């Protein structure tokens, strides 16, 4: 009888020196995620805005915590989060999984890890922005997030992000 063995998953924090791994994954994942939602020029602009080594470093230095998930030792996705305020509200800034690895529970593992870390830090809620036309909206709903509001964000150079702000309540463990 053969046993079903799931691939070894590991989620860990990244140091500033390891942020290049986020950039490498973003170069593969980000354009594919948005190719049917926004124009290629906006994807390029957003890659520069969020994923240059300098901008990743600035995000890290401003307090973003970066996590990476490995499948059998291979980087397969990433997430980052920050506290929003003193009221225990946190923001999930980024969560992306290699498109070839989607549907295997990696995103769920990453979100659950962030929720656990936020809860352990005394967090009460976790918010995220997601493009209203991104198929991930259904995934977030399945994880317990609810749509709080719609938001049109001007990100510069005439580009906008047409998003839902979604939120999940967290049982604080602190």
> Which residues, at least 6 apart from 125, have a Cβ–Cβ distance to it below 8 Å?
88, 89, 90, 167, 168, 169, 170
Whether 134 maps to a domain, the answer reads yes
Single pTM value for the model: 0.89
Whether 48 maps to a domain, the answer reads yes
Task: Give which of 60, 61, 35 is closest to 47, Cα–Cα.
Answer: 35
Structural tokens at position 31: 């354009």
What are 25-70's pLDDT values in tens digits?
A: 999 998 888 888 889 999 999 999 999 999 999 999 999 999 999 9
Whether 141 maps to a domain, the answer reads yes
State the residue range of the domain holding 160: 9-169
Whether residue 157 is predicted with pLDDT greater than 70 in this model: the reply is yes
Whether 3 maps to a domain, the answer reads no
Whether residue 22 is predicted with pLDDT greater than 70 in this model: the reply is yes
**Over residues 145-171, mean pLDDT:** 93
What are 92-151's pLDDT values in tens digits?
A: 999 999 988 888 889 999 999 999 999 999 999 999 999 998 889 999 999 999 999 999
pLDDT band at 171 (very low <50, low <70, confident <90, very high): confident
Whether 152 maps to a domain, the answer reads yes
Q: Given 3-state DSSP classes, what are the helix, strand and coil percentages for the chain, each rounded to the nearest 5?
A: 35, 35, 30
Under 8 Å between Cβ of 168 and 125 = yes
Whether 138 maps to a domain, the answer reads yes
Whether 129 maps to a domain, the answer reads yes
Which pLDDT value is given to residue 161? 87
Whether residue 3 is predicted with pLDDT greater than 50 in this model: the reply is no
User: Is the model more confident about 120 or about 1?
Assistant: 120
Q: Domain count of the chain? A: 1
CATH of the domain at 136: 3.40.630.30
Whether 2 maps to a domain, the answer reads no
């Amino acid at each position: 009888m053969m046993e079903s063995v799931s691939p070894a998953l590991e989620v860990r924090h990244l140091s500033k020196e390891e942020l290049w791994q986020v950039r490498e994954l973003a170069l593969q994942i980000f354009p594919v995620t948005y190719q049917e939602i926004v124009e290629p020029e906006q994807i390029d602009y957003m890659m520069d805005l969020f994923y240059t080594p300098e901008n990743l470093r600035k995000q890290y230095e401003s307090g973003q915590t970066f996590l990476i998930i490995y499948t059998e030792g291979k980087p397969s996705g990433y997430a980052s989060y920050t506290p929003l305020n003193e009221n225990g509200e946190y923001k999930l800034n980024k969560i992306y999984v290699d498109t070839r690895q989607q549907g295997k529970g990696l995103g769920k593992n990453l979100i659950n890890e962030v929720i656990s870390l936020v809860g352990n830090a005394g967090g009460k809620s976790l918010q995220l922005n997601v493009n209203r036309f991104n198929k991930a909206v259904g995934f977030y709903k399945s994880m317990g997030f609810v749509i709080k509001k719609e938001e049109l964000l001007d990100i510069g150079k005439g580009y906008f992000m047409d998003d839902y702000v979604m939120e999940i309540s967290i049982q604080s463990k602190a």
